[in-house]
Amino acid sequence: MKEIYLDNNATTKVDEAVFEEMRPYFCELYGNPSSMHFFGGQVQKKVDEARRRVADLLNAAPEEIIFTACGTESDNTAIRSALELFPHKRHIITTRIEHPAVLTLCRNLSRRGYRVTELNVDGEGRLNLDELEAAVDDDTAIVSIMYANNETGVLFPVEEAGAIAKAKGAIFHTDAVQAVGKVPLDVTSSTIDMLSLSGHKLHAPKGIGALYLRKGVPFRPFLAGGHQERGRRAGTEATANIIALGKACELAANLMDDTNRRVKAMRDRLERELLTLIPNSRINGGEAERLPNTLSIAFEHVEGEAILLLLSEKGICASSGSACTSGSLEPSHVLRAMGVPFTCAHGTIRFSFSRFNTEQDVETVIRELPPIINRLREISPFGRELLAHP
């Protein structure tokens, strides 16, 4: 069965052009870029090119890019760096709807004596900057606020948040794992000190990420070891992955406008038609500014996991909220923070598009999903009630 892959916020297909770019760096050009000989040197050149390509996507300087193993490592590095640099500061600010890569670390730190403020969001998943303004103080080491939410696609006012953080002398970090390659980013005249990104969300392989570190911002490495990455991230470079990330960023930059236009049109069509065809459905974060590729839609009185299984039987891949929280039947922390009613949070499905999706994919979902919801409502007492009195 050919898959209809609408789970691109979980991970993306490696672009064939990206794969071709990295392929020679396994069996042929396998040198260590730190080696003195020509064989390492030619790999170093490609790593330099990749760093420039990643930097270009953000409008950063190449030396502001540090390669890491994943978005999670970038997030952990940023937060731990700030805490090590300012040991007298014991306060961290983040939000209730961060990815576990930030939230779990912050909650662990709060058990170790740090004061952690988790900012609230409104019913549409939006941040209230007044709450941030009130929370930040001279004791705040770092403010870490995501750029775009992985479950709803809702965008945060990162620039404004950064200005508030910096006015109080705090480091400002943003987890932009879901935003990089999907929305234009320009760090030159920005308030962002550090920014995390991850290759597998933009058609590079899993196992490669990067941390943007603004020139002049103090930094402490997370890993102790060799002098790679100018002493900022020890460990022999994952050369093939780095080269792949560079190519993926170059493609993202070149294709962004066209991709966004197509992807948004498909997302909007799916959203419109599902809302029309399926009564008692609603969009999570629908009133907020969102990523163009993400649709989080709730079907009242249906179990999200049951929907996913039946969609999967038809070859359709989606997600019930974050891939990292599925597997547990707890409603997602994001939807809970937004105050989405239990009956809707449980029946939420996330569809997330990429440039590889087609109108045909949208048509298949529009054809297959309404009967699935109907069937599931028929077998639940509340669902039958809804069908009788929509």
Catalytic positions, please? Answer: 324
- Three-state DSSP state, 243: helix
Closest by Cα among 389, 274, 282 to 341: 282
Among 58, 79, 101, 132, binds ligand PLP (CB under 6 A): 101
Binding mask 58-97 for ligand PLP (x = CB under 6 A): ------------xxx--x----------------------
Applying CB under 6 A, does 173 fall inside the site for ligand PLP?
Answer: no
Applying CB under 6 A, does 99 fall inside the site for ligand PLP?
Answer: yes
Dihedral in degrees, nearest 10, Cα atoms 33, 187, 95, 105: 20
Place of tokens 């691109």: 8
Pairing of strands 316-317, 140-144: unpaired
Nearer to ligand PLP, 153 or 347 (CB): 153
Applying CB under 6 A, does 245 fall inside the site for ligand PLP?
Answer: no
Applying CB under 6 A, does 370 fall inside the site for ligand PLP?
Answer: no
Max intra-chain CA distance, the chain: 76
- Smallest distance from ligand PLP to CB 381, Å: 35
Interatomic CA distance for residues 118 and 107, integer angstroms: 10
Nearer to ligand PLP, 86 or 172 (CB): 172
- Smallest distance from ligand PLP to CB 27, Å: 26
Interatomic CA distance for residues 234 and 45, integer angstroms: 19
Applying CB under 6 A, does 242 fall inside the site for ligand PLP?
Answer: no
Among 22, 66, 177, 245, binds ligand PLP (CB under 6 A): 177
Interatomic CA distance for residues 383 and 69, integer angstroms: 45
Residue nearest to ligand PLP (CB): 71
| 48 alpha-carbon distance from chain centroid | 25
Query: How many residues in the shown chain lie near ligand PLP by CB under 6 A?
Result: 14
Nearer to ligand PLP, 72 or 296 (CB): 72
DSSP codes of every residue in 15-77: PHHHHHHHTHHHHTS---TT-SSHHHHHHHHHHHHHHHHHHHHHT--GGGEEEES-HHHHHHH
Applying CB under 6 A, does 209 fall inside the site for ligand PLP?
Answer: yes
Interatomic CA distance for residues 203 and 255, integer angstroms: 12
Nearer to ligand PLP, 72 or 152 (CB): 72
- Smallest distance from ligand PLP to CB 331, Å: 18
Using CB under 6 A, which residues numbered 105 to 164 contact ligand PLP?
Answer: 146, 150
Which of these segments, 26-34, 107-115, 175-183, 269-277, binds ligand PLP (CB under 6 A)? 175-183
Q: Find out whether 244 and 205 touch, Cβ atoms under 8 Å.
A: yes
Applying CB under 6 A, does 243 fall inside the site for ligand PLP?
Answer: no
Interatomic CA distance for residues 222 and 81, integer angstroms: 7
- Smallest distance from ligand PLP to CB 196, Å: 7
Residues interacting with ligand PLP, by CB under 6 A?
70-72, 75, 99, 101, 146, 150, 175, 177-178, 198, 200, 209
